[in-house]
Structure 1
Amino acid sequence: MKIYDTLIIGGGQAGLSMAYFLRRKKLDYLVLDNQSKPGGSWLHTWDSLKLFSPTEYSSLSGWMMPKSEHEYPTKNEFISYLEQYEQRYNFPVQRNTEVLSVHKEQEIFKIITNQGVFYTKTLVSATGTAHEPFIPDYSNREEFEGEQLHSVNYRDSNELSRKKVLIVGGGNSGAQILAEVSKVANTQWVTIEEPHFLPDDIDGRYLFNQATQKFLGKSTEQPSKRKVSLSSIVMVESVKEARERKVLQAKRPFQSFYKQGVVWKDGIQESFDVVIWCTGFKANLEHLEPLHITENNRIATQDTRSIEVPGLWLVGYGSWTGFASATIYGVGKTARQTANEIEEFLS
């Protein structure tokens, strides 16, 4: 029975960041990935997606993403980069391997997958959020007879021509999808509060620098000085163009659904053909349920280390596993620290 030093569940940006730092530790590790090719969750994003930082701020540790001909890299350019990154460092990745459940027997983790059982002394869960799309619980949503899809299932606007489309969600995905769909369809944007657009000269570079300073404990900027966060909307080219067309106006949330559409807070009904939910994701933690440590879709951690289960770390799920840890630029900082902790644990 082979027992690895470390297994990493997930071969996306978080999993590869972990592989990079574990490789430098000379540990016996393996990445289990449920995709058929490199790219992680980026394989399932819409076709026209653009990152909101230049290549130097859209790179993993060790090797910078090749310069893009665009100011902001495209989805396909980033997927190509992940593939090259994986090949460059010759990470041990086993594809098409779906982790079904994780158990712990004495000091060893038992990982049950569709490709057999694996054993490891330590475990890193880096499954991200893409497989757990979140849709708010609106009254009578099941009665709506039109089409509903989450942003994870949206690919392009080809099937939406001349339809009436409601886009729900005030982040970068909502703004970019609205910009694209509004060219071919009649759109209405819904956000919880007024969308926060960054000035044209501020993009992900500022956001990630801010997160880095916070990570290092050196942040001197007062929160009230500038309302900027990773959920702020970056004015990439398509969103600027939508602003010129005056389609970035958003309404506050509706009250409920009815068969043909939605009922606004003032009681007025409005019909729609399609609803696109750009409402984010929840952490994908289903495989860890047998450990009985998940509460409110989170696991108690000290940085990335599980408090209740020794030998388990969670990387890349969001602020509860480190500042900006669900971002390309931010995950490396928590991955480096996690690799150091794993080495210390095993020694």
Structure 2
Amino acid sequence: MGNSYNTIVIGAGQAGLAIGYYLKQKSLSFLIIDSNSRVGDSWRHRYDSLILFTPRSHSALPGMNVEGSPHGYPNKDEIADYLENYSRHYNLPVQLNTAVINLFKENEQFHLVTNKGNYVAKNIVVATGPFQKPFVPDVEKDVLKDIFQIHAAHYKNPTQLNEGTTLIVGAGNSGVQIATELAESREVYLSVGKRMKFLPYTLLNRSVFWWFQVLGVSKATIHSKLGQFMKKNDPIIGKELKPLLSRGVVKKVSKVSKADGKSLICQNGEKVQPENIIWATGYHNDYEWIEIPNIIDKNNNVIHDRGITKEKGLYFLGLSWQYRRGSALLLGVGEDAKFLANHIT
């Protein structure tokens, strides 16, 4: 059958390419499919000013370095082009413009229905990553229509916004980077849900991620006490925002709880009247297309052990904290990919 493979990988981002690198060494028949028109598009479509918080030395997939100074920090287009070149360099079997409609299992075979036809495989690796469906809290429904709203997933640059005050809801690394950018041209408020912890990019002229490796922090697993602590206390990498906060250039407010007319009301009673709102509030998992029972829990999270599910032959890769902090990052996904490739064989 022309559309039958030992393994099909869903997603040609960093996770899908990393396991493709290892599957190629196993001489298995496999195919990597992706709904985008180019490898790397998941990075190309992100906001224009995005700079990675890992240096090039810690932003590479197995077998191929990122071009440029290893101590410098790549932008999102560099990484997009790197992934595309990686796919070509290793001649990975990637099929683009292929959107998955559903996945089911019948007679010990997985059946994948796509816009390009149906496929059959012994193994499926879901490598769609942690950034699937933008999440916006219910309060956005009560915001006046003349206030411009956009999720960070769709934000590109300040020209999209109305003039005037901008409220950024969510203070993860994306929200912080966007706040820092916008502070150059407008009044910015940043809604923070919990205490912010900052780490520098470098310490004693070494990347903080180099120190993570030396001190064993990078090896902490989700099952360890250190891993559990880190998951609950994920820091902001970089300190550019701190002086802006101290000078009041970016004004920190508490978590947004409701909207009332033109005002957004925070948990401590503070009110902000923005002309724009950027929701940097993260993402939902989107697994409605998986028609296999006992794989997804009631909170829409994958039930797995290091990417291995209870359904024989079904794997996940690139999940946030799949095994370690780096599981969803370029610097860590390769180790998980190697583990799963070995398990498949």
Q: Is the TM value for this pair above 0.5?
A: yes
Q: What is the CA–CA distance in structure 1 between the aligned matches of 2:102 and 2:201, rounded to whole Å? A: 45
Q: What is the CA–CA distance in structure 1 between the aligned matches of 2:102 and 2:34, rounded to whole Å? A: 14
CA 1:268–1:160: 2 relative to 1, 3 Å:
same
In structure 2, the residue matched to 1:213 is 219
CA 1:215–1:264: 2 relative to 1, 3 Å:
closer
In structure 2, the residue matched to 1:299 is 302
Q: Which moved more, 1:290-299 or 1:151-160?
A: 290-299
**Alignment length (residue pairs):** 337
In structure 1, the residue matched to 2:77 is 76
Structure 2 residues not aligned, in runs of 5+: none
Q: How much has 1:199 moved relative to structure 2?
A: 3.5
For residue 231 of structure 1, what is the amino acid of its counterpart? D
For residue 144 of structure 2, what is the amino acid of its counterpart? F
CA contact (8 A) 2:222 2:228 kept: no
For residue 288 of structure 2, what is the amino acid of its counterpart? E
**1:58-137 alignment runs, 5 A limit:** 58-68=59-69, 71-137=72-138
In structure 1, the residue matched to 2:261 is 259
Q: How much has 1:148 moved relative to structure 2?
A: 1.5
CA 1:289–1:204: 2 relative to 1, 3 Å:
farther
Q: Which moved more, 1:111-120 or 1:267-276?
A: 267-276
Work out the percentage of aligned pairs sharing the same amino acid: 33
Q: How much has 1:271 moved relative to structure 2?
A: 1.4
In structure 2, the residue matched to 1:235 is 238
Q: What is the CA–CA distance in structure 1 between the aligned matches of 2:225 and 2:40, rounded to whole Å? A: 36
Q: How much has 1:141 moved relative to structure 2?
A: 3.3
In structure 2, the residue matched to 1:43 is 44
Given candidates 269, 274, 277, the residue that maps to 2:276 is: 274
User: Which digits, 9 at most, give the CA deviation of each residue in 1:202-240, with x for residues without a partner?
Assistant: 5551575255322499x997998xx7988311116x647
CA contact (8 A) 1:6 1:29 kept: yes
User: Which digits, 9 at most, give the CA deviation of each residue in 1:146-200, with x for residues without a partner?
Assistant: 1221110000012336311110111110110001111122110011122211145
Please say if 1:250 is aligned against 2:252. Answer: yes
Q: What is the CA–CA distance in structure 2 between the aligned matches of 1:303 and 1:204, rounded to whole Å? A: 25
For residue 122 of structure 2, what is the amino acid of its counterpart? K
CA contact (8 A) 2:7 2:121 kept: yes
CA 1:268–1:89: 2 relative to 1, 3 Å:
closer
In structure 2, the residue matched to 1:338 is 340
Q: What is the CA–CA distance in structure 2 between the aligned matches of 1:297 and 1:15, rounded to whole Å? A: 21
CA contact (8 A) 1:135 1:279 kept: yes
CA 1:244–1:216: 2 relative to 1, 3 Å:
closer
Please say if 1:159 is aligned against 2:163. Answer: no
For residue 188 of structure 1, what is the amino acid of its counterpart? Y
Q: How much has 1:245 moved relative to structure 2?
A: 5.8
Q: RMSD over aligned Cα, in angstroms?
A: 2.8
CA 1:97–1:149: 2 relative to 1, 3 Å:
same
Q: What is the CA–CA distance in structure 1 between the aligned matches of 2:316 and 2:137, rounded to whole Å? A: 25
Q: How much has 1:282 moved relative to structure 2?
A: 2.5
Q: Which moved more, 1:292-301 or 1:33-42?
A: 292-301
CA 1:180–1:241: 2 relative to 1, 3 Å:
farther
In structure 2, the residue matched to 1:57 is 58
Q: What is the CA–CA distance in structure 1 between the aligned matches of 2:269 and 2:233, rounded to whole Å? A: 34
Q: How much has 1:96 moved relative to structure 2?
A: 0.2
CA contact (8 A) 2:170 2:281 kept: yes
CA 1:290–1:6: 2 relative to 1, 3 Å:
same
TM-score (norm 2): 0.88
